[in-house]
Structure 1
Amino acid sequence: MHLSACLRSVLFLLAGALAVPALAQTAGQEVHELQRHWAEIQYRTPEKQRADKLAALAEQASVLTARYPDNAAVWTWSGIIRASHAGAKGGIGALPIVKAAKADLEKAIEIDGSVLDGAAYTSLGSLYYQVPGWPIGFGDDKKAETFLLKGLEYGAEDMDANYFYADYLFQQKDYAKARTYADRAEHGPADLERPVASEGRLGQIKQLQVKIQQKLH
């Protein structure tokens, strides 16, 4: 084989070897953009405008799940955005959206539930305790706790994982235990790459702490 042909073969193999990291980096960057837009909508957009903006962001997420079908982080964020859209929309019309969110989160777990500190487990658990049960929805408190605790296995110090478990415990009227996890959430490390999300979640944690304190006195 001529030297030029050998060189072409080596370059071809190198290109193939480098394609996977490059793809992962691109997917990571696009997930970061989804996260950033979600936080801006969720915490800095007037409530009446959130549903339409989240619907548009969910469409963007759908494009990414088609582009990166084996990326658990993409599916996780698609599920989170759909769940937020359902919450903003409200009513019976939100049920198909929340079911789509559930499917996205289950897909993320099927691929790799450990990504993003177990965020797919945490988010799925939050759906199970917030969605109505049968015959209206799929809500199930036992499944909720199972998934929330699984999320805590991967993100023991994670602000979101501790917040949602604290909120679940509050709904279950286990106020003393809820306070423990709310305090853990408050002292969880903020995500320096997502300051708007961290600030917004901290505000929700403090609101929950006030409600818990009121129940304990």
Structure 2
Amino acid sequence: MYKITLALYLIVLSILSISAKADESQDLLAIQQQWAIANYELEDDAQIKAFTDLTEQTTLFVQNYPNSAQSHIWHGIVLASFAGAKGGIGALGYAKQAKESLEHSLEIDGTALGGSAYASLATLYSKVPGWPIGFGDDDKAKKLFKQALAFNPQGIDTNYLYSEFLYGEREYKEAKARLEVAQKAGIREHRRKADEYRQQAISQLQVKVDKKLKR
């Protein structure tokens, strides 16, 4: 009787685990799709409103899945994007919160979502002002980008974000190489909107890089 009861208990746990993962995946996809709209298609007050709503949504996402690295990653990505949209000194608070969320995700699982936390953190370090205003640090950014590439060497986002950083550092040959990898990554069906806009950004940056290399 005990063995039967234990077996049933384990089956129920397994079903609940599968169901929870399915729910988390659906919530994540919804956040990713809404982020693409807010980040690429909206401007001014409409964009600020969208990121305000998304921040509330990802806060709830973290509360529902506190031990999931990807919940903290996407909370961090949304906060970082919000900081970029807001701009100015007022954005620094969001950037710091994004940093904390991304760092927490690394404590849980640095390999989650292909090492996305490393790339997102690297971008934060590269764009936030340095001391004494903020925590920006280009050396730290470069180290984090390389860690991200170690987990996902062919990824569209990691390669594009790193190429953008390299362009700012005037490392044009390496920037071009990273852009070529990003372009070959193509379009992911579940991230179609975001990837289509990303490919446009890749093409635009390639034009800038080529002009620098021709000089």
- Give me the whole-angstrom Cα distance separating, in 2, the residues matched to 1:175 and 1:195: 28
Equivalent pair of 1:155/1:161 in contact (CA under 8 Å): yes
Equivalent pair of 1:55/1:82 in contact (CA under 8 Å): no
Query: Could you list the per-position Cα deviations for residues 138-186 of structure 1 after superposition, in whole angstroms to 9, with x for gaps in the alignment?
Result: 0001110111111111111100010011111111111111111111111
> What residue number does 1:194 align with?
191
> What residue number does 2:21 align with?
24
Query: Could you list the per-position Cα deviations for residues 69-120 of structure 1 after superposition, in whole angstroms to 9, with x for gaps in the alignment?
Result: 0101111111111100000000100001010001111111111111111111
1:173 equivalent in alignment to 2:170: yes
- Give me the whole-angstrom Cα distance separating, in 1, the residues matched to 2:168 and 2:193: 26
1:50 equivalent in alignment to 2:83: no
1:154 equivalent in alignment to 2:156: no
- Letter aligned with residue 12 of structure 1: Y
After superposition, residues 70-85 of structure 1 pair within 5 angstroms as 70-85=67-82
- Give me the whole-angstrom Cα distance separating, in 2, the residues matched to 1:47 and 1:181: 31
Residue 47 of structure 1, CA deviation? 4.3
Residue 49 of structure 1, CA deviation? 1.9
- Give me the whole-angstrom Cα distance separating, in 1, the residues matched to 2:6 and 2:155: 46
- Letter aligned with residue 160 of structure 1: D
Count of residue pairs brought into register by the alignment? 214
> What residue number does 1:94 align with?
91
After superposition, residues 32-47 of structure 1 pair within 5 angstroms as 32-47=29-44
Residue 24 of structure 1, CA deviation? 1.5
> What residue number does 1:115 align with?
112
Q: What's the RMSD between the two structures over aligned residues?
A: 1.5
Q: TM-score, normalised by structure 1?
A: 0.93
Query: Could you list the per-position Cα deviations for residues 4-57 of structure 1 after superposition, in whole angstroms to 9, with x for gaps in the alignment?
Result: x98666433321232222212211110111001001111222344212211210
- Give me the whole-angstrom Cα distance separating, in 1, the residues matched to 2:39 and 2:191: 13
- Give me the whole-angstrom Cα distance separating, in 2, the residues matched to 1:207 and 1:192: 22
Structure 1's consecutive aligned runs of 4 or more residues displaced over 6 angstroms after TM superposition are none
* Gapped regions of structure 1 (runs ≥ 5): none
> What residue number does 2:100 align with?
103
* Gapped regions of structure 2 (runs ≥ 5): none
Q: TM-score, normalised by structure 2?
A: 0.94
Q: Among all aligned residue pairs of Structure 1 and Structure 2, give the percentage whose two residues are the same amino acid.
A: 37
> What residue number does 1:141 align with?
138
